[in-house]
A and B are shown apart, each in its own frame.
Chain A
Amino acid sequence: MTTSDLTLPQAEKRGSRRPRVLGAGKQLHAGPVTYVILTLFALISLAPLVWTAIAASRTDSRLAQAPPPLWFGGNLFKNLETAWEEASLGTAMFNTAFVASAITVSTVVFSTLAGFAFAKLRFRFSSALLLLTIGTMMIPPQLAVVPLYLWMSDLGWSNQLQTVILPTLCTAFGTFFMRQYLVQALPTELIEAARVDGASSLRVVWHVVFPAARPAMAVLGLLTFVFAWNDFLWPIIALNQQNPTVQVALNSLGTGYVPDQAVIMAGALLGTLPLLIAFLLFGKQIVGGIMQGAIKG
């Protein structure tokens, strides 16, 4: 409830701002001090990741010695291989790719439908339902895990991937994100024009809404994929090392499943690599999406 008070008016403002008039020429140029401070923060952002790779290329005994290694050693592939085999990272990566893809496709499609309805269609209780949707983002996942766990045991679904897919098939964040985009990006006259042609709602969605929403759908897809890849609480309760996702496997590594720090770092590196590659390729779009959505997923 509370978040809506803050975001809705602001988002409206952002919508009207669309053709950005903010004179780029009036923006102040950054001085050398700015660059120095930003470089410092950039180093802090990247250093732990670089150091993960360094540690993953060393041995366990070397990592326990006093001056920590600052450059790469020669054990990277050996450690990656051990992590791959001991922590079932191959299965984990495949499982996570499957789970995250299923969640992404479903969330993007359903959120676009719901976002379109909230943005452009008039129906009873629409604003109350939108507020409710936003309010649900306040509910912590902890409130659901005990019953979900019990039902899952009843159904005999323990350790099966559908248990981590089903609860996230559509999200409040996605719905709100698409709603905010479609309010300003989809002209109402366009829908009316299609209606004049006698198009049914499904045809309107297919021929008008989806084409107009495509850029935002791509961004929501990226954000959802990152979220699903990194989801932690429910997967570590629902799954175990027999059929893990990447986060479950990393949790096993961290809680002493393989007591070798270099191998653990190799696992962390491997489990993060797909997302780092995604950031390298689509970083600009992800940044744009976060700045547009301005809500934590």
Chain B
Amino acid sequence: MTSSKQALAQPATSADAAPGNQPGAARGAQGRGTPPPGGSSWRSRLYRWDMKASPYAFISPFFIVFGAFSLVPLLYTAWYSLHNVQLADLDKQTWVGLDNYQNLLSSDFFWNSLWVTFVIGVISTVPQLMMAIGIAHLLNYKLRGSTVWRVVMLTPYATSVAAATLVFVLLYSWDGGMINWLLDFIGIDPVNWRESDWGSKFAVSTIVIWRWTGYNALIYLAAMQAIPSDLYESAALDGAGRWQQFRHVTIPMLRPTILFTVVVSTIGATQLFGEPLLFGGVSGSKGGSAHQFQTLGLYMYDQGWIVGNLGKASAIAWSMFLILLIIAVINLVVTRRLRKAQ
């Protein structure tokens, strides 16, 4: 804020010093290249050219990077998904049509990975976002040391996927792990977290929840602080208690933000990769002995770089993209409905 105010002062005074010296330039600043009167010197032409070209020049680095490292590769991935490309022999690429996709549709592992991705996505996202709303609500109270609380809640975000997962692997370990020890305390039999079907999905989800809950809480907090306080005042006048205010004012006002976090979390869940990979240990790319936590992202990595079938990996990547597009369409429909309902 302060620095922008300083910047405000400087050029404003210099503009005062030269009032109306170049009226054409002033009009040019409106954005349309009206030619400055008083001579079509090369300067004014240069000036018009600058006005026209500079916006495109400014956005071009992003679009060049996006084109070269996202868009073109995305299309090439589609191309490779129609070929047999083996890691062991990269020079030989033979056209196979839709074979890779047919191969996927008839593969149990593919359907398994879709199921795993869906399950982990649901049990990591739903509790995470609900807790995040709760935490945000608490952080929205007038707190002593409010910044400290916020930073502490965000600390897991600083921990990388790899570091966090390595720690959780140890916490969830069968012998001597903290979690089984705590379960033993309250009289529950130890769980073999890595081997069990639901146990492993639960464990992987807790890593995601741990890393992202604080982050989402801050996003909700930002949205809560934007809710006008007179809404609460009139609700209080109507006799609404704290809980009713939360239900009937906070939640409805948060609806766009909730939808937004659901979308972002869904995108994240669809490509979940690092957590299950490292949770699996030595042969992590298989996602457990019965593939019980092999997500779609993990399956793609396994097929591409462990099995060495890059053509099939490309087909898996495109399946992932198609799923996200479907989710995007659903989201669009839901958003429209919500808007109409309001």
Contacts and interface: CB of A to CB of B under 8 A. Distances in A.
Interface in A42-76: 42, 44-46, 48-49, 51-52, 55, 63-68
B158 A6 contact: no
Contacts of A292: 222
Interface of B: 1, 3-4, 6-8, 10-12, 14-15, 18, 21-22, 25-26, 28-32, 47, 50-52, 54-59, 61-63, 65-66, 69-70, 72-74, 76-77, 80, 85, 90, 131, 135, 138-144, 147, 149-171, 173, 175-178, 181, 210, 214-215, 218-219, 221-223, 225-226, 228-229, 232-233, 242, 256-257, 259-260, 263-264, 267-268, 270-271, 273-274, 277-278, 281-282, 284, 297, 300-301, 304-305, 310, 313-314, 316-318, 320-321, 324, 328, 331-332, 335
A202 B165 CA distance: 46
A121 B32 CA distance: 10
Given A138-B267, A287-B147, 17 more contacts: A24-B142, A28-B242, A34-B143, A45-B210, A68-B178, A113-B61, A142-B273, A147-B80, A166-B69, A167-B65, A208-B7, A208-B11, A211-B7, A290-B215, A290-B219, A292-B222, A296-B215
A221 interface: no
Contacts of B131: 41
B7 A212 contact: yes
Contacts of A284: 147, 151
30 contacts: A7-B260, A29-B141, A42-B152, A45-B156, A68-B176, A121-B58, A123-B52, A133-B62, A141-B271, A143-B70, A143-B77, A143-B317, A145-B73, A147-B73, A148-B73, A170-B66, A187-B8, A200-B47, A201-B50, A211-B3, A211-B6, A212-B7, A247-B160, A251-B162, A255-B282, A268-B163, A287-B154, A290-B219, A290-B222, A296-B264
B263 A140 contact: no
A38 B138 contact: yes
B142 A295 contact: no
Q: Which of A2, A31, A113, A278 has the most CB of B within 10 A?
A: A2
B28 A195 contact: yes
A104 interface: no
A145 B300 CA distance: 11
A216 to B, nearest CB: 10
Contacts of A26: 229, 232-233
Interface of B, helix, strand, loop or mixed by DSSP:
helix
Contacts of A98: none
A284 to B, nearest CB: 5
A146 B165 contact: no
A55 B55 contact: no
Interface of A, helix, strand, loop or mixed by DSSP:
helix
Contacts of B318: 143
Contact of B22 (A186, A198, A261): A198
A114 to B, nearest CB: 5
A146 B142 CA distance: 50
Categorize the interface residue count of chain A.
35 or more
A68 B177 contact: yes
Given A141-B271, A166-B69, A198-B25, A64 B175 contact: yes
Nearest to A141: B271
Contact of B169 (A66, A68, A185, A254): A254
B74 A264 contact: no
A255 B158 CA distance: 22
Contacts of B77: 143-144, 146-147
Contacts of A116: 58
B310 A197 contact: no
